[in-house]
Amino acid sequence: MPKIESVVRTPRGKEITKETKKKSKFKCFFKRKSAVGDSSQNQNVCKSKKQEALPTIEESCLILYASYEIRQGKVEVTCPDTGCEDGGSLFITELQELVPEEVWNLRERLKLFREIEEDPTRCWCPKPTCEGVCSSQDEVPLKVKQKITCPECQLNFCSKCLSDWHPNPDCQEAPPPHSFAIPADLKNVIKRCPFCNIFIERDAGCAQMFCKRCHHMFCWHCLTILDYDYLLRHYTSGPCKGKLGHSRISVLFYRIQFIGIVLGFGLVAILASPLLIVMAPCVCMYGAVCHNRK
């Protein structure tokens, strides 16, 4: 029998002490095998309010899962149990011990990116060959026009338009930000999100892109926002016709499936509406009775 190690999780990855465990209703934890064992055996992976027994997670599978989540841009790795109702995340020290060093370094890098993105007084140096972190003067937000100097490469640039520093009050009169230009050989691979302006790389596959920073959908070819194009009509006409990256049969199957789901929910709502109308007064009366008892 391989050794089983209990790993305690909290909703935000914090350690559970005896005091917090008494006060908190969160009881979720999982057990992982420190060595490969019999996969047919079942162990408690996650104990939530229902105390359900789930298949044991092998350590190798857990490493692959955590590494994949981090490579997808996630700083916090959520519970591997899809049925977990507590929405917990893996303990930070356990995560560091679990994943390879290169993956952990990537996670720390992503964490730094997030901290800088959420800080209105800091930004990355706009020079592609520099990775310096620049700060504003006297903690003034960077959206206010000011001269910023990179501590690494000593580049002076405008905090508002990220171009080389210019005394012109209007940034539109400034020269184009050559330091932010994408090389010609990478223009088909790297583009900017039309909504938040962050760099996005596309290797292959679907041309309908999803930005993980601003959570908007857009077309890779023409950068049109596609947040409400649920049927992919953008790729049936116009300059992007047939450029989705999928066959016509797969697109047709997707549309039929989407329409079927929408019609199914609508049918359920129509059939359930009489029952809801009948139950509404009963629910109101029950709530009034409970309120009077208090």
Residues 47-84: tens digit of each pLDDT: 344 433 334 456 778 888 888 888 888 888 887 776 77
Q: How confident is the model at residue 44 (pLDDT cuts 50, 70, 90)?
A: very low
Among the listed residues 50, 52, 48, 62, the one whose alpha carbon sits nearest the alpha carbon of residue 4:
62
Residue 134 lies in a domain: yes
Q: Give residue 27's pLDDT.
A: 36
* Model confidence pLDDT, tens digit, residues 247-276: 888 888 888 998 999 899 888 888 888 887
Residue finishing a domain among 63, 86, 112: 112
Domain CATH number, residue 94: 3.30.40
d(CA 95, CA 190): 31
- For 170-182, what is the mean pLDDT? 55
Asked if residue 184 lies in contact with residue 194, where contact means CB atoms within 8 angstroms, the answer is no
Residues 135 and 223 in one domain: no
pLDDT given at position 180: 53
* Domain boundary residue, one of 52, 87, 112: 112
Q: What is the mean pLDDT of residues 139-163?
A: 86
Residue 29 lies in a domain: yes
What is the spatial distance between Cα 276 and Cα 286, in angstroms, rounded to a whole number? 15
The reported pLDDT for the residue numbered 182 is: 59
Domain count, the chain: 3
Q: Which domain holds residue 103?
A: 4-112
Q: Could you give the percent of the chain with pLDDT greater than 90? A: 4
Let me know if residue 69 belongs to a domain: yes
pLDDT of residue 101: 92
Tokens of 222: 């023409």
Asked about 125 being catalytic, the answer comes back as no
Residue 180 contacts residue 162 (beta carbons within 8 Å): yes
Residue 139: is its pLDDT beyond 70?
Answer: yes
**Helix and strand element counts for the chain (H, E):** 5, 13
Residue 178 pLDDT level (bands cut at 50, 70, 90): very low
pLDDT of residue 174: 46
pLDDT of residue 104: 92
Residues 6+ apart with CB under 8 A from 21: none
Report how far residue 260's alpha carbon sits from residue 100's, in angstroms, rounded to the nearest whole number.
43
- Output the CA–CA distances (angstroms, integers) from residue 16 to 84, 116, 194, in the order listed: 18, 29, 42
DSSP string, 234-276: GGTSSTTTT-SSS-HHHHHHHHHHHHHHHHHHHHHHHHHHHHH
pLDDT at 213 over 80: no
Contact assessment for residue 39 and residue 101, using Cβ atoms and an 8 Å cutoff: no
Identify the three-state secondary structure at position 133: strand
Q: What pLDDT sits at residue 141?
A: 86
Q: Catalytic pick from 153, 196, 206, 284?
A: 206
- Let me know whether 95 and 15 are in one domain: yes
Q: Where are the alpha helices (DSSP H) in the chain?
A: 18-23, 59-71, 92-98, 101-118, 248-293
pLDDT at position 260: 92
Task: Tell me the pairing of strands 208-210 and 42-43.
Answer: unpaired
In a domain, 256, yes or no: no
pLDDT at 218: 92
User: Looking at 39-43, 57-61, 64-68, 217-221, which range is the least confident one?
Assistant: 39-43
Q: Residues 28, 9: contact at Cβ < 8 Å? A: yes
How sure is the predictor about 183, in pLDDT bands with cuts at 50, 70 and 90?
Answer: low
Q: How confident is the model at residue 126 (pLDDT cuts 50, 70, 90)?
A: confident
- Choosing from 162, 180, 198, the residue where a domain stops is 180
Average pLDDT score, the chain = 74
